[in-house]
Amino acid sequence: MLDRKRGIFAEAWSIGKAVGQAMRITFVNFFRKPVTVHYPTVTRPFPNRFRGLLALTYDKETGEENCIGCRLCEFICPPAVIKVEMLKAEKRNYAKTFTLELYACEFCELCVQVCPTDAIIMMKSFDLATGDRREMLLDKDRLHAIGLQHEPSWATGNLLRDMQQPPKKESKAADAADTADKAKATDKAAGA
Amino acid sequence: MPDVRAIDYAGSERLTMNMGPQHPSAHGVFRAILTLEGETVVGVDAVIGYLHRCHEKLAETLAYVQYPSIASKTDYVAAMSSELAYVMAAERIGQFEVPKRAQYLRVLMSELQRIASHCLWLGTWCMDMGGALGGGATIFLYCIRERELVLDLFESLVGARLLYGFHQVGGVRYDIPEGWTAECRKTIALIEQRLDEYEAMLDDNPFFTMRTKGVGAISRALAQDVGVSGPLLRGSGLNWDLRRNQPYSSYDDFQFDVPVQAAGDCFARYRVRMVEFRQSIRIIRQVLDGLPAGPISSRPGVKSLAQVKVPKGEAYARVEGPRGEVGCFLVADGSNKPYRMKWRGASFSNLAVLPHILIGCGVADVVAIMGSVDPVFGEVDR
Amino acid sequence: MSWGALPPAVQALVMGGVILGALTGILAYVTLLERKFAARLQSRIGPYRVGPRGLLQPIADGVKLLLKEDVIPETADRPVFNLAPVVFLIPCLLIFGVIPFAPGIGVADLDTGVLFFLAISSLEIVGLFMAGWGSNNKYALLSAMRAVNQIISYDLPFIMATLVPVMLAGSLRLSEIAAAQSRLWFIAYPVIGQIAFVFFIITAVAAENRVPFDILEAESELVAGFRVEYSGMKFAIIQLAEYAHVLGTSFLGALLFLGAWAGPGPIWLGPVWFLLKALLVFLLITWVRWSFVRIRVDQILRVSWKLMLPASLLLLLATAATIVWRTPHA
């Protein structure tokens, strides 16, 4: 602490100055507005793309279930938490059972990305706390209920795949501008 | 090779103290069995492996499309660099091209991640040295306050705050939404301002310099022999930064300085990281100014498990993470899963320097040194 | 029966009881003040959920600590372990016995008030070491050894710093020191007053084991130091004693340097001003605490013996010289 070269008074003065500087910074922060968000009375606004709870959706026009039981989400899921059984019917297929183990889900959004019918999506909510782990084993009814309870995030399978689509070889330039614009448009459409 | 002193358990005043896996300043799960003589450390026996989760085996069972989000869990504080190493290795084997916009986005995310990671490092290090009830906690909360801003940026881009799944083989998964660029510029301007405050609080602070100058000095020879990387290397006088020496992902398009300090002690490493903060901000500004339009992936978005097949071959991809060189060695066999993945965690090699520098210092210095080495045990134990 | 008619022993007893009672209440809320102040320094709000704006937090803490299980390690030295909190608490409360809260109001106004204060306040080391030893825990022992080292080293400069107002006032009696500041507070005394105040703060922070000198409870290394094996009400007593010591030193600082009860308004407002000044000194110590990292024990000792002791001796010499120079020769 004592630097022989500078002499004790210069050293003491520099120490005092440095100490005063540090205390000044803390003092300045005293008058800043606290950054506390008074959760749970106040929740901060979720961004558009928030990856929260998973849910199954219904078709907006017809009201039918979107899920066709193709099991793509089951195969892609890294921790293998999704289990689907397909039910074949005349016009289209359905999911007979759809279980999702939310306690093991890693919220990577890969299932949302691969879904061809935009059936499975993520919601802007993370309220998962429960006293019983069995409540986090979501079955099909529960997943549909979650879909109706909370606000959905922006991402659906088709939107994600469109965003990641490389342009066609013919007109690269036009498509390049197109992709960027499309991203903006989809974000605005799904908007705040 | 400098010899590690063998632990001599004889001696009457020797006290064996366990800085156990549960310890407020172990930075994760790390067990150091210290042999103390009074207050001086005369022997250290490091035990790791408490966080082993079989990443390398897991990579053999998961496809190339599934693994990137798992890769972020190795170095969970700097998830973007971790994912990048994996996808770069796969792209290198398969000679997949990555579009320019994707490369720039990767650089942008890596540098933002560096800022967030260094914020956490500074906060936890000062908290270890200053106490949870004291000045350390103050600096910790300031750093976390700034880190939250960066995490908010990540959240509005990717949807997740800590573990992203942002990269995919051939590019990235998410593009920048409307208004993100303006928010990013605002945030980094604010962080730059706050950095001035941290430096004012710490740089000349006699209490801080007493704890860090001359403590834990890694000589240049030792750093080269043991194989440390990142700020530890640059703090010991070696001018080596993968972003400049072996540029990847368009890093050679950007101008930035690489800080080097000769002293090798904790203060030198602190200075290196503080300069890295500012250089990251500089790179981010350059990326935002020059971000080209274009696709964000050269391959279509993931639609099925068998989509990405990497031809036979092997490659080692290295990135400059906040802690040092993160490397991924992949052996591909033509299917959609790797045959073998070997992960080089930066902290694993950095920790190897501990038995050399902990001998002879006080117990309080152990804490300061551990903090300045900045290990994350996700990548030590994998 | 009027107050003056009571025998002085009974007067002192009643006064002591009133002061102790008021003290316990103030101490509890001083902890809340510290938490809220620290929180604002860190861009956050302190406790605010318990009671309106967190005002019931100390009561909640007290109830919680009362209800906790009292764990005594099996291999601990039971009598020493159990007595240590009490032995730690008594000196910390005794120091309030000699502080006058207003002219004439105080438990005892000793001729050697300052000396009594300093001597008793360093007796807390005994309780501290008993706690460290009785716990039968390596961490606690390390911490107790560091504590003894540190407190003894810093008591000397502490005494020197408090001797400056004593010399300026010419008496060890605390009420006389307070009265001598009626013209000019000692902190306003050119150069010497300010330096003495700065030294007082530094050595007070060190003698009370606050950051940056709190190596003995360095949580990140020793996990609460000598208190590590205590839980429940014993822990509460130790905490209370530490805060009492800090508050007592703040009162002393306010008295020695800031003019004690001097302030605008009627005379009965004096104790209120005194309390406010003591809280100001307390907040200053707290501000220092929440701004710095801690230094190693050998550095703490080096600062004490190589820096603080010579500096405070020089300060005493300078004070003596100034007094001689300014006293008109008869």
| pLDDT, position A173 | 47
Whether B4 is in a domain gets the answer no
Q: Which residues of A touch C45 (CB under 8 A)?
A: 34, 36
* Interface membership of C292 toward B (CB under 8 Å): yes
**Does C299 contact A29 at a Cβ distance shorter than 8 Å?**
no
* Torsion from C-alpha of C212, C213, C218, C221, nearest 10 degrees: 90
Exposed (0-12), middle (13-18) or buried (19+): which is A191, by Cβ within 10 Å?
Answer: exposed
Q: Do B39 and C298 touch (CB under 8 A)?
A: yes
A183 in reach of chain C (CB within 8 A): no
How far is it, in rounded angstroms, from Cα C215 to Cα C211? Answer: 8
User: Is residue C212 scored above 80 in pLDDT?
Assistant: no
Collect all residues of chain A within an 8 Å Cβ-Cβ radius of residue B204: 14, 17-18, 21
**Residue B174 CB partners (closer than 8 Å, separation 6+):** A49, A163, B157, B158, B159, B166, B296
Average pLDDT estimate for C240-251: 91
From C142, C214, C223, residue closest to B134, measured CB to CB: C214
Q: Are B340 and B330 in contact (CB under 8 A)?
A: yes
Give per-residue pLDDT as tens, B203-248.
888 888 888 888 888 989 999 999 899 999 999 999 999 999 999 9
Task: For residue A96, give the 3-state DSSP assignment.
Answer: strand
Residue A157, pLDDT > 90, answer no
CA–CA separation, B245 vs A48, rounded Å? 39
Per-residue pLDDT, averaged over C285-308, amounts to: 83
d(CA C40, CA B40): 38
Averaged confidence pLDDT in chain B: 88
Regarding predicted confidence, which is higher, C221 or A162? A162
Residue C146 contacts residue C154 (beta carbons within 8 Å): no
The whole-number pLDDT of residue A4 equals 53
Structure confidence at residue C220 (pLDDT): 46
Number of alpha carbons in the 13 Å side-chain half-sphere of residue B157: 29
> What pLDDT is stored for residue A42 in this prediction?
85
Residue A1: predicted pLDDT: 45
CA-CA distance, B224 to B233, in Å (whole number)? 8
What whole-number distance in Å separates Cα of residue C31 and Cα of residue C35? 6
CB B382 within 8 A of CB B74: yes
Q: CB–CB of C169/C180 below 8 Å?
A: yes
Tell which residue, B183, B182, B184, B172, has the closest CA to residue B100: B172
**Which sign does the torsion angle of CA C240, C243, C245, C248 carry?**
negative
HEC string for chain C: CCHHHCCHHHHHHHHHHHHHHHHHHHHHHHHHHHHHHHHHHCCCCCCCCCCHHHCCHHHHHHHHHHHCCCCCCCCCCHHHHHHHHHHHHHHHHHHHHHCCCECCECCCCCCCHHHHHHHHHCCHHHHHHHHHHHCCCHHHHHHHHHHHHHHHHHHHHHHHHHHHHHHHHCCCCHHHHHHCCCCCCHHHCCCHHHHHHHHHHHHHHHHCCCCCCCHHHCHHHHCCHHHCCCCHHHHHHHHHHHHHHHHHHHHHHHHHHCCCCCCCCCHHHHHHHHHHHHHHHHHHHHHHHCCCCCCCHHHHHHHHHHHHHHHHHHHHHHHHHHHHHHCCCC
For chain B, the residues whose C-beta falls within 8 A of a C-beta of chain C are: 15, 17, 23-25, 39, 126-139, 141-142, 145, 201, 205, 207-208, 210-211, 362-367
Chain B hits for A1, Cβ within 8 Å: 206, 210
pLDDT of A146 above 70? yes
Interface list for C 178-217 with B (CB within 8 A): 210-212, 214-215, 217
| pLDDT given at position C183 | 79
**B272/B283 Cα distance (integer angstroms):** 16
Confidence band for B371, pLDDT divided at 50, 70 and 90: confident
Residue numbers in B near C44 (CB within 8 A)? 141
Dihedral sign (CA C86, C87, C91, C94): positive
pLDDT band for position B339 (cuts 50, 70, 90): very high
Across the interface, of A22, A25, A30, the residue whose CB is closest to C40 is A30
Summarize pLDDT for B2-24 with one digit per residue, the tens.
Answer: 445 555 555 566 778 788 787 76
Nearest to B206 among A1, A106, A109 (CB): A1
Which of A14, A19, A33 should we substitute to test contact with C (largest number of C Cβ atoms within 10 Å)?
Answer: A19
Provide the token pair at C193: 């007053």
Alpha-helical runs (H) found in B291-341: none
Mean pLDDT, residues B175-189 taken together: 92
Q: What is the mean pLDDT of residues B257-262?
A: 92
Q: Is residue B9 part of a domain?
A: no
How far, rounded to the nearest angstrom, does the alpha carbon of residue C95 sit from its chain's CA centroid? 9
The per-residue pLDDT for C222 is: 52
Q: Is C287 on the interface with B (CB under 8 A)?
A: no
Pick from C223, C293, C297: CB nearest B208: C293
Kindly list the partner chains of chain B, i.e. chains with 3 or more CB atom pairs below 8 Å: A, C
Which residues in chain A touch residue C292, judged by CB atoms under 8 angstroms apart?
19, 22
Q: Do A49 and B174 touch (CB under 8 A)?
A: yes
H-run or E-run covering B41 = strand B40-47
Chain C residues with beta carbon closer than 8 angstroms to that of B133: 211, 219, 289
User: What's the pLDDT score for residue C311?
Assistant: 87
The predicted structure's pLDDT at residue C228: 81
- Per residue in C90-146, pLDDT tens? 999 999 888 888 877 777 788 888 899 989 988 888 998 998 888 887 778 877 888
**CA nearest to B112, candidates B68, B75, B78:** B78
Q: B105 φ, ψ to 5°?
A: -65, -35
Partners of B314 in the β-ladder: B331
Query: Is residue C217 pLDDT above 70, yes or no?
Result: no
Position B367 in a domain: yes
How many other CB atoms are found less than 10 A from the CB of residue B78? 28
Residue B6 lies in a domain: no
**Does residue B344 form part of some domain?**
yes
pLDDT value, residue C216:
67
Query: In the numeric block, which tokens belong to residue B121?
Result: 């490092």
A185 touches chain B (CB under 8 A): no
Where does residue A165 rank: exposed (0-12), middle (13-18), buried (19+ CB within 10 A)?
middle
DSSP state of B252: G
Q: Do B130 and C44 touch (CB under 8 A)?
A: no
Please report the pLDDT score of residue A30 as a whole number: 87
pLDDT at A189: 44
B/e letters for B82-119, b = 16+ CB within 10 Å, e = fewer, are: bbbbbbbbbbbbbebebbbbbbbbbbbbbbbbbbbbbb
What pLDDT is attached to residue A6? 59
Do B375 and B269 form a contact (C-beta atoms < 8 A)?
no
Assign C221 a pLDDT band (cuts: 50, 70, 90): low
**pLDDT confidence of residue C304:** 84
Contact check, Cβ <8 Å, C41/A26 = yes
Q: Helix C309-326 vs helix C192-207: angle between axes, to the nearest 10 degrees?
A: 150
Question: Helix count (H) and strand count (E) of chain B?
Answer: 15, 8
Residue B7 lies in a domain: no
Q: What is the pLDDT of residue B8?
A: 53
Tens digits of per-residue pLDDT, B123-154?
Answer: 988 888 876 666 778 888 899 999 999 999 99
Of A106, A177, A187, nearest to B69 by CB-CB distance is A106
- The span from the CA of A152 to the CA of C298, in Å, is 59
Which domain range does residue B234 map to?
Answer: 15-381
Q: Is the ipTM of this complex over 0.85?
A: no
Question: Confidence band (pLDDT; 50, 70, 90) for C226?
Answer: confident
What is the average pLDDT score of chain C?
85
- Between C330 and C49, whose confidence is greater? C49
DSSP B216: S
Which residues make Cβ contacts (< 8 Å) with residue C6, sequence separation at least 6?
Answer: C14
| Arithmetic mean of pLDDT, B333-347 | 92
pLDDT at residue number B4: 52
pLDDT of residue C223: 61
Q: What percent of chain A has pLDDT over 90?
A: 24
* B333: phi then psi, degrees, rounded to nearest 5: -125, 20
- The answer, for A36 touching chain C at a CB cutoff of 8 Å, is yes
Distance between A146 CA and the closest CA of chain C, angstroms: 31
Element housing B199 (H / E): helix B180-202
Residue type at position B318: R
CB contact under 8 A, B178 and A188: yes
pLDDT at B17: 79
Residue A186 has pLDDT above 50, yes or no: no
The rounded distance, in Å, linking the Cα atoms of B101 and C99 is 73
Residue to mutate among B15, B207, B361, with most C CBs inside 10 A, is B207
Q: Which candidate from C219, C297, C298 shows the least CB-CB separation from B131?
A: C219
Report the pLDDT value the prediction gives residue B1, as an integer from 0 to 100: 42
Token pair in block for residue A153: 């995030």
Residue B297 is given by DSSP the state: B
Nearest CA to CA, how far is A180 from chain B (Å)?
Answer: 7
Torsions phi, psi of B173, nearest 5? -95, -25
- The stretch C64-75 carries a mean pLDDT of 89
Q: Judged by CB atoms within 8 Å, which residues 26-85 of C form the interface with A?
A: 39-45
pLDDT digits (tens, 9 = 90+) for A2-57: 445 556 777 777 778 888 888 888 888 888 888 888 887 888 888 989 998 999 99
pLDDT at site B26: 58
Q: Using an 8 Å Cβ cutoff, are A134 and A180 in contact?
A: no
pLDDT (tens digit per residue) in B267-325: 999 999 999 999 999 999 999 999 998 888 888 878 888 888 889 999 999 999 999 99
Residues A139 and A20: their CA atoms lie apart, in Å, by 61
C127: contact with B, CB 8 A cutoff? no
Work out the pLDDT band at C224, boundaries 50, 70, 90. Answer: low
Angstrom distances, CA of residue B3 to CA of A56, A80, B32, B224, C131: 61, 48, 19, 14, 42
CA distance C88 to C126: 7
Does residue C212 contact residue C205 with C-beta atoms inside 8 Å? yes
Q: Is residue B170 part of a domain?
A: yes
Instruction: State how many domains chain B has.
Output: 1
Whether B221 is covered by a domain: the verdict is yes
Q: What is the CATH number of the domain that holds B287?
A: 1.10.645.10
A187 and B177: CB-CB below 8 Å? yes
